[in-house]
Structure 1
Amino acid sequence: MKTNTIQKLEDFAGTILIPVFETYAKSLVPIEFHGVSVHSKVFYGKKDTHYLFEKYDSTHIFIGLGKDPDYKSLKTIFRRISSNNKELFNTNVALVIPENYTNEQFEASLSGLVLGTYDFGHFKSEKQQHPFLDSNFELQLFSKKNHDKTIAKALKIVNAQLEILRLVDFPPNIVTPKYLANWASESGKKYGFSVEVLGHQASEKAGLNSFLAVGKGSQNEPQFVIMNYIPEGSNDKTKHVGLVGKGITFDTGGLNIKTAAMVQMKCDMAGGAAVFGAMQLIADLKLPIKVSAIVPCAENSVDAKSFLPSDVIQSYSGHSIEIIDTDAEGRLVLADGLSYLIKNFNPEYIIDIATLTGSCVGTFGYECAGLFTNNNELSKQIQESGDAVGERLWQLPLWDCYKQDIESDIADVKNYSGKPVAGAISAAKFLEFFTENHKAWAHIDIAGVAFGDGEFAKSKYATAYGVHLLTKFIENL
């Protein structure tokens, strides 16, 4: 989307989007707006309301923001306006930027407008392009201030999120491990980070046996994707962050086959997708932080070669793992991802992100992600970053009393407690076992927030949760 800033609206012909805070609504709407006499109806600007009227050759859409909208609310409000009013958006559209808008509020609003162009009908034979995507379209921004930096940043954020929406929403016969590896390689070339991909043979040689066990039943070769972003001018004092994302492109549950909701398991790579999107955005924003990231990509399928419940497998760390449940596969690929990251890159901070447990959904529903860390300062930093961009988290304990849930009689550790309680915590304890007691590690369980129901589609769809959160955390460092 191209933008242009204007300072007069009197002669503007087209659609004018006018955000209205509830506090100021009464004084704005009934009288006059920037020299344009408007309808006498009082519009109160309450959240999730809008008022539309046409006058001469212009259409005014007053958009209610409520009294104190947060980032997520603003993004949703403007996505709704953009998505539901395509017929009103011709080549002439202007967005009024309120004088009391913060940069973050404008960023969220512009992001929402662009997100509204997202079309879920990827494979429909007939598609209607959103007017904002026309190559000749230019959004006019009415403001007395210069917002060029905020505009550039907002567009980079939303472009990364749109990429990840597509990755997660695409079907699993398209988004295979190889597809994700190729996507990462192309993104690295475009935005400026290096990518190395270990296929089956290279992964076997490296000793990534826990990762490889998960993909044994699939015809699609697993791909262990390693990415590195090194900013210009970096040195030994440059901070270094490590990211690991679960890249299970489809999860049948393996031989412990899922009995419900398998149709949604194309989203099981949403954690890996969040890391891919964050790498694109971090490099696009040219943040001055080193980032090493790993996304182990595999498909957990059913075949004569599939790994078995009660198998004992080896891991990259050298520790043995007893397989209790083949549907607890995400933690197996993350274990090798974490071990590989620590041994080969040793970053100061480590965050892994995954659609890991239904238990987390049982705890939080679809409102926030689960956060696990023994570093209180890191927890605070991540939560504050999430709050700032509307991607909330809440911390759960990692007390040693939960360690017994992953203790095995036959191996160093087992991959599933077998208990109907504390599933998200025992999964996090399993991952902690492979962190070598790293002092600044955090695990984020996004099972309830990465893919779900909403107003923009009839079925469940991707949210791109994590792309902005991870980037914001790194930006704040």
Structure 2
Amino acid sequence: MQLNKKVDQFKGLVILPFLESGNAFLSKLEFPSAQVSNALFSGKKDSQFLLEKPDEGQVFLFLGLGKEPDYKSIQNSFRRITAKQENLFQEDVLLVISKDFNEQVLEAAVSGLLLGTYRLGHFKTAEKAPKDWDKVKMGVSSSLSEAEKIVEKAEKIAAAQIQTFKMVDLPPNTATPQYLADWAKEAGKSHGMTVKIYDRKKAEKEQLHAFLAVAQGSQREPQFIILEYRPKNAQKHVGLVGKGVTFDTGGLNIKTQGMVHMKCDMGGAATVLGAMQLIADLDIPVQVTAIVPCVENAIDKRAYLPSDVIQSHSGKTIEIIDTDAEGRLILADALSYMIKNYQPEHIVDFATLTGSAVGTFGYECAALFSKNEVLIQKLMESGDAVGERLWPLPMWDIYQKEMDSEIADIKNFHGKPFAGAITAAKFLECFTGGHASWAHVDIAGTAFGDSEFAKTKHGTAFGVHLLLKFMENL
């Protein structure tokens, strides 16, 4: 998008957002011939009014944002236009942001328009080619002093979120552990990050035993991905970990329902990879190390068994109660490896970990676990700012006894129909070495779901923008 303040002679689609108020139209003196009465359009949330001026070569789209819209609401209002009314977007489009609006509105509007260009039909064959959005020239008119920087930032946010969408939406025979490793290598080259990849043999040398146990039932090579972003003069060091189970059959405790959606079980990996692209793209002055353990939880004669006792990178032994509680196993090795080798000040992991989190919060909020109140507040505030809500659940030590094993140091599942998300978090805590600032985010209900933007469940990029806000506010 380009900044364009010459609006008087513009020809094409003009997008005019309004708040729901009687004086909203007074700021639109640039277009005196495009006035609409309050009776026809009042700026009510999710309302639109189209006005064509064929003699002047202009189409005006009046967009209502409501009285006090939040960031996500604004973003969705603009995303809805490109997602559902692409026929309006020909060669030239101008978004006019009046003095009534602040920087957040501009950022949300631009990112929303770009997010709406994403389509799920990656493998569709059709007589008519999909719309070529590269041919659409989008401009912005704004009197904000930092408008150019805001637009550039919004473009980068949308680009990272679209990459995250795609990683989650691609089928598991495409988005394999190797695919994610190759994606990380390319992102590293493009954005100046160091990337290390451990395959099965290298993972064995690093003693990533729990990670390998989950992978041993699949013919696909596991990939333990490490990305290092090292800006100059960084004052903080954050570690990110993302669960990357590219498909989850449940293992020998095979899933009996919902398996068709298990391509999304690498949603945490996608969040962390997308966030790393965004953080590096924006030159955020925070040192970040990301570890993304990627495996396929499949079944063959080598698959690990319920009642197996396996080793882990930390040295702790784990009794396998349920092979479908596999995500916590690969996260255990990733957390242990992160702390031993990188010692970040803060660690945050993202994982589509438990149905229990969905049962508690549904699809609008992710479950947050930490004993560090400052970290909890920073993460919640960061999420609230961009419409990616988190809410904490208790990490009381009384829950730890649920994970006690008679034969090993710990078991991977307590086998009971309650406190599933909490006991999973307590399992992970055992592999953090008592780290003072660690948080676990269970995004099982928020990483993949239904929305107005597709006819089937799809990726949401939940956590990418949240992590950017978190880094900015450290």
Report if TM-score (shorter chain) is over 0.5.
Answer: yes
Partner of 2:237: 240
Aligned pairs for 1:101-140 within 5 A: 101-126=101-126, 128-134=129-135, 137-140=136-139
Any residues of structure 2 matched to 1:271-310 within 5 Å, and which?
271-310=268-307
* CA deviation vs aligned residue, 1:238-287 (integer Å, no higher than 9, x gap): 21000100000000000000011100000000101111011111111111
Q: How does 1:277-356 map to 2 (within 5 A)?
A: 277-356=274-353
For 1:469, what is the secondary structure of its paired residue? helix
Deviations 1:427-462 (A, max 9, x none): 000001111000000000000000000111111000
For residue 370 of structure 1, report the CA deviation from its aligned partner: 0.4
Compute the displacement of 1:104 (Å): 1.4
1:70 aligns with: 70
Tell me how far apart the structure 1 counterparts of residues 129 and 398 of structure 2 sit (CA, whole Å).
56
**Contact 1:4-1:138 within 8 A present in 2 as well:** no
Q: Is 1:46 the equivalent of 2:47? A: no
Where do 1:385-404 residues align within 5 Å? 385-404=382-401
Deviation at 1:405, TM superposition (A): 1.2
Verify the 8 A CA contact 2:34 2:51 in the aligned structure 1.
Answer: no
Structure-to-structure mapping, 1:174-193, within 5 angstroms: 174-193=174-193
Give the distance between the partners of 1:324 and 1:13, measured in 2 at CA. Answer: 65
State the SS of the aligned residue for 1:23: coil
Alpha-carbon distance between aligned partners in 2 of 1:150 and 1:130, rounded to the nearest angstrom: 26
TM-score, normalised by the number of residues in structure 1: 0.96
| Structure 2 portions without partners, runs of 5+ | none
1:22 counterpart SS class:
coil
> In the alignment, which residue of structure 2 is the partner of 1:167?
167
Is 1:36 the equivalent of 2:37? no
Q: State how far apart, in whole Å, the 2-side matches of 1:61 and 1:25 are.
A: 18
Kept in 1, the 8 Å contact 2:103–2:144? The answer is no
Aligned residue for 1:190, secondary structure, equals helix
Q: Which residue in 2 is equivalent to 1:255? A: 252
Q: Counterpart in 2 of 1:428?
A: 425
Distance in 1 of aligned mates of 2:16 and 2:151: 18
* In structure 1, distance between residues paired with 2:22 and 2:439: 42
Aligned-pair distance for 1:53?
2.1
**Alignment counterpart, residue 12 of structure 1, candidates 10, 30, 36:** 10
| CA distance in structure 1 between the aligned counterparts of 2:22 and 2:99, rounded to whole angstroms | 12
Aligned length: 469
Give 1:352-431 correspondences, 5 Å limit.
352-431=349-428
- SS of corresponding position for 2:216: coil
Q: Secondary structure at the match of 2:171?
A: coil
Q: CA deviation at 1:39?
A: 4.2
Residue type of the alignment partner of 1:155 = E
What is the aligned partner in structure 2 of residue 471 from structure 1?
A: 468
- 1:450 maps onto 2:447 in alignment: yes
Aligned-residue offset at 1:119: 1.1
1:215 aligns to what? 215
Q: For 1:6, what is the secondary structure of its paired residue?
A: coil
Q: Where do 5+ consecutive residues of structure 1 fail to align?
A: none
**Counterparts of 2:385 and 2:129 in 1: how far apart (Å)?**
34
**TM-score relative to the length of structure 2:** 0.96
How many Å separate the matches in 1 of 2:124 and 2:372? 47
Identity level (%)? 55
Change in CA separation of 1:128 and 1:472 when aligned onto 2, cut-off 3 Å = farther
Q: Distance in 1 between matches of 2:329 and 2:417?
A: 20
Q: How far apart are 1:24 and its partner, in Å?
A: 4.0
